[in-house]
Copies of this chain bind each other. A is one copy, B any other.
């Protein structure tokens, strides 16, 4: 309804208006049609896996020498990662269709029948950096939930993205889903992104997936709603009554199993009563990973003779390292732990390890995060692990969805109201 506020090149304007038209069909597409298309797409990806890997090698070869290992890793596809993409497509096909789900159904005294029925969000716009595997994850979830999606990757993965888009177009075309219910934007001019972020007349929701800078830019610029996949600065609080073997497992898993992801741990807070016992054991358990430690004075007094342990600077407590670096502080008890998390946490995932149910309950109640754990690894905050099938990221905002963005979160209920001529008095 609102007039376009920034101009797009005419061919792109036409393409997006076409996608908006497809949205009307996509909204009501039968589950069987959608599922068949996803299975077909899984097969097509299987058949094209060599070409996709070759394109990916091209992208990797074009990387600048100074590219970080973490970025290189996120960009790299392997036969295993392609197998993961295929599994995910098959899983999404097998999930129940959220569109049309009746979430409420009641009859008012005046005879009006009220239903709230899940409907697609409409046109999604995902902006992502590196990780070409998110293309299929994002498309499959958006598509199954009845949406159309505009995808815009970063130029570092342009060959890989191009190959994947080609496979998608061909497979969807074979299912008579042409024009495609997605559009992969391959013009990497940043001005286009800026213009698109002003098009709330076309785009219903924007989902940025990438670093702080991207997310802040989208938050500042977008005139349509944003589902924010922000940073994860996750803490483990090891209480005085914690089973220390369990605590070790949970911290080691949270920090080392995949340090580059948002549900990895950055900071461990240890109750003073067990710090002397726990910290040397934690050091030993992580020694093989050559962790760098940034610690408070009390932890330093305990760990000072160990290698790679230095005093934390104030800014360290706010750092999402995404790397083999761990902050550590000794706290006097749960209140201090809660205050630390309230001040430094990013509302993503937080865990208490304790045998004391009252402390656990206090922690679960008080910590304001998308996912709060008692005696389990924060690494479970993810669509697969929580049984949502797949995810389009982890939301740390509080509107619409907290935590993994799955199929259901790509819909919203609307009201269907049936009467026999009722009017308002």
B-binding residues in A (CB < 8 A): 1-2, 24, 27-28, 106, 108, 112, 114, 119, 121-122, 200, 204-205, 216, 219-220, 223-227, 233, 243, 246, 249-250, 252-253, 257, 318, 342, 344, 346, 360, 364-366, 368-377, 379-381, 385-387, 397-403, 412-424
Please name the residue on chain B nearest to A223 by beta carbon: B219
- Chain B residue at minimal CB-CB distance from A320: B1
A-B contacts, 24 of them at CB < 8 A, read A1-B233, A24-B342, A24-B366, A24-B368, A28-B366, A106-B387, A121-B399, A204-B397, A205-B399, A220-B223, A224-B397, A227-B399, A246-B420, A249-B421, A249-B423, A373-B417, A373-B418, A373-B419, A379-B424, A385-B424, A399-B400, A402-B412, A403-B414, A403-B415
Q: Is the CB of B412 within 8 A of A401?
A: yes
Residues of B near A219 (CB, < 8 A) are 200, 223
Give the Cβ gap from A83 to chain B, nearest Cβ, in Å. 16
Which residue on chain B has the smallest CB distance to residue A382?
A: B424
A420 CA / B376 CA spacing, docked (Å): 6
Contact status A372-B417, CB under 8 Å: yes
State in angstroms the CA–CA spacing of A342 and B386 once bound together.
38
| CB-based nearest B residue for A112 | B376
User: Which of A108, A366, A370, A399 has the most chain B CB atoms closer than 10 A to its own CB?
Assistant: A399
**Which residues on B sit within 8 Å (CB–CB) of A375?**
418-422
Out of B220, B224, B415, B422, name the residue touching A377 (CB < 8 Å). Answer: B422
Q: Does the CB pair A108–B376 fall under 8 Å? A: no
Query: Is B122 in contact with A386, judged by CB distance below 8 angstroms?
Result: no
Report the nearest B residue to A215, measured CB to CB: B2
List the B side residues contacting A28 at CB < 8 Å.
Answer: 365-366
A424 interface neighbour in B205, B226, B253, B420, Cβ under 8 Å: B253
**CA gap between A27 and B416 in the complex, in Å:** 32
The interface residues of chain B lying within 8 Å CB-to-CB of A366 are 24, 28
Contact among B225, B377, B412, B414 with A225 in the assembled complex (CB-CB below 8 Å): B225
Q: Which residues of B contact A381 (CB under 8 A)?
A: 415
| Cβ contacts under 8 Å, A114 to chain B | 386-387
| Protomer copies | 2
One of B2, B122, B370 near A368 (C-beta < 8 A): B122
CB proximity of A1 to chain B, nearest CB, Å: 6
Minimum CB distance partner of A377 in chain B: B423
* Complex interface: chain B residues within 8 A of A385 (CB): 424
Residues of B within 8 A of A121 (CB): 398-399
Cβ contacts under 8 Å, A360 to chain B: 418
A225 touches B421 (CB 8 A): no
Q: How far is the CB of A57 from chain B (nearest CB, A)?
A: 29
Identity of the chain B residue whose Cβ is nearest the Cβ of A100 in the assembled complex: B365
> In the complex, A344→B1 CA distance in Å?
7
Chain B residues within 8 Å of A418, by CB: 360, 364, 373-376
A112, A200, A369, A379 interface centre (most CB from chain B within 10 Å): A112
A219 to chain B, nearest CB (A): 5
Q: Could you tell me the distance in whole angstroms from the C-beta of A283 to the nearest C-beta in chain B? A: 19
Which residues of chain B are within 8 angstroms of A108 by Cβ–Cβ distance?
386-387
**Contacts A219-B200, A318-B1 hold; do A413 and B422 have CB atoms under 8 A apart?**
no
A24 to B339 Cα, complex, angstroms: 11
Further 8 A-B residue pairs, CB within 8 A, beyond A106-B387, A204-B399, A371-B415? A27-B368, A28-B365, A112-B376, A200-B219, A257-B423, A364-B418, A368-B414, A402-B414
B residues near A400, Cβ cutoff 8 Å: 225, 399-400, 412
Q: Among the interface residues A253, A257, A400, which one has the most CB atoms of the partner chain B within 10 A?
A: A400
Find the B residue at minimum CB distance from A381. B415
Top 6 closest pairs, chain A to chain B, by CB: A376-B419, A253-B423, A379-B424, A225-B399, A400-B400, A246-B421
